[in-house]
């Protein structure tokens, strides 16, 4: 009984880690898209500097 409980708990922890990784990936993709659109809207002021910063930030996140 203890071994089966440990196996189910291990599977639950694996599922929890997988869902956390999936949620963090989705949030990082949304954040990168937000930075991309923000850089497009602000490219006239900063002349592409903000876009370069957003691109390197996206590389660091992914």
Q: How many domains does the chain have?
A: 1
CA 30 to CA 38: how far, in whole Å?
12
pLDDT at res. 37: 83
Q: 54 exposed, middle or buried (CB, 10 Å; 0-12, 13-18, 19+)?
A: buried
- Its domain, for residue 9, covers 2-61
Q: Is the pLDDT of residue 3 over 80?
A: no
Q: What is the pLDDT of residues 4-61, one digit of tens each?
A: 555 677 777 787 778 888 888 888 889 988 988 887 777 667 666 777 788 888 888 7
């Amino acid at each position: 009984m203890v071994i089966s409980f440990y196996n189910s708990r291990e599977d639950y922890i694996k599922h929890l880690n997988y869902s956390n990784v999936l949620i963090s990936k989705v949030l990082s993709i949304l954040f990168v898209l937000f930075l991309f659109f923000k850089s497009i809207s602000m490219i006239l002021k900063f002349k592409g500097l903000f876009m370069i910063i957003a691109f390197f930030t996206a590389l660091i996140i992914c």
